[in-house]
Amino acid sequence: MLKGIPNILPPALLKALCEMGHGDTLVLADGNFPVATVGKNAVVVRMDGHGIPEILDAILQLFPLDTYVDRPVGRMQVVPGDKVATPIWDAYDTILEKHDARGADMVEEIERFAFYERAKGAYLMIATGEQALYANLLLQKGVVTD
């Protein structure tokens, strides 16, 4: 056991986060995301019993977001014509603002299939039990400076 590390984060995830370097990407995948297909080349950590907001908040306590790009966070855009509400995005914005002054300004909306393509290049993919639709996120790691 270690001090100062959120207890929601399992050892396999801590190891993978530590292995990531500047510019590497992680995917927080909702329960509908095709992790087995898209994440073939990624380290996959399963956290099926948890939702993305609680995982995001815990990760951002340890994980710097890239400051060398305008938008180090990407979310899957709602498919045009799909009448789906995305209240989880408000929760994400609140968490991002808590950990980074750029808040929602650093979030890029990415078309669904473009999101899948970018996710294929991720170093780490976290499979969650998140049930909200369009809840997937990409996070680009920054530089630890303190």
Q: DSSP states of the chain as a string? A: --SSS-TTS-HHHHHHHHH--TT-EEEEE-TTS-HHHHTTTSEEEEETTS-HHHHHHHHTTT-PBPSSSS--EEEEPPPTT-----THHHHHHHHHHHH-TTGGGGEEEE-HHHHHHHHTT-SEEEEE---STT--EEEEB-----
Q: What is the mean pLDDT of each run of 10 residues along the chain (146 residues)?
A: 91 97 98 97 97 98 96 97 96 97 96 98 98 98 91
Instruction: Please report the domains of the chain, with CATH numbers, ordered by start residue.
Output: 22-140 (3.40.1650.10)
Q: Write out the catalytic residue numbers.
A: 22, 66, 116
Per-residue pLDDT at 23: 97
Is-contact 96 103, C-beta < 8 A?
A: yes
- The pairing of strands 137-140 and 43-47 is unpaired
Per-residue pLDDT at 1: 72
Per-residue pLDDT at 134: 97
